[in-house]
Amino acid sequence: MFYFPAEYFLQVYSLPLIAEVRFQKDYFSEYPEQIRVGSGGTAVSYTRKPGYYAIHYNQPKTVASGAVLQLNDGAMSTTGYAYAVFPGEPNQSEQGTLSPIYTLQPNGSLAVPTGLVFIRFAEGVDVESQREVINQAGYEVAQSLDYAPHAAWLRAQSGNIVDAIAGIPQLEAIPKVENIEPQMLMEKGLRLGH
């Protein structure tokens, strides 16, 4: 029979030290996990996609190295921004506005929120007559549409993308609103109905 000192036994058969597990902070936790707009057969749903982020560059011709997708690079830009989608998590040294990436359901196309929200009132109700209730909901008119006086692009008064998305229910509650939808940029050809 062999006898081993207890100290030796503990050293040989002890489990290795386990590194401390730290959960990564959800950089975009203030953004909703899901954005659902419209109703019935016209309802659209976007789901936040972890592991990706977008940088909004205020210079439309910016070319971003390392991007998996680049959108709105100057041609027909309604926002004046270029958008680049990157894998991973952003770091504090990123220059430009950051936003999460969403995927359009059910096809999974990557979508970047711009901070603009489209509003359309019933025919005969022009946006100008509704400016006060739009302001009370926390938005301002960013761009009027000459060809459609009952529709406009809005932005949150704070200028923050998260506020533009979070306030959609307040806009939907305005009487005579027929459609509200956040502007979500996607690759050409991947939009609904194409």
- In this prediction, residue 66 has a pLDDT band, given cuts at 50, 70 and 90, of confident
Q: Sign of torsion, CA 89 158 188 42?
A: positive
Contact 118, 153 (CB under 8 A): yes
- In this prediction, residue 42 has a pLDDT band, given cuts at 50, 70 and 90, of confident
Q: What is the pLDDT of residue 40?
A: 65
* pLDDT, averaged across the chain: 81
Burial of 61 (0-12, 13-18, 19+ CB in 10 A): exposed
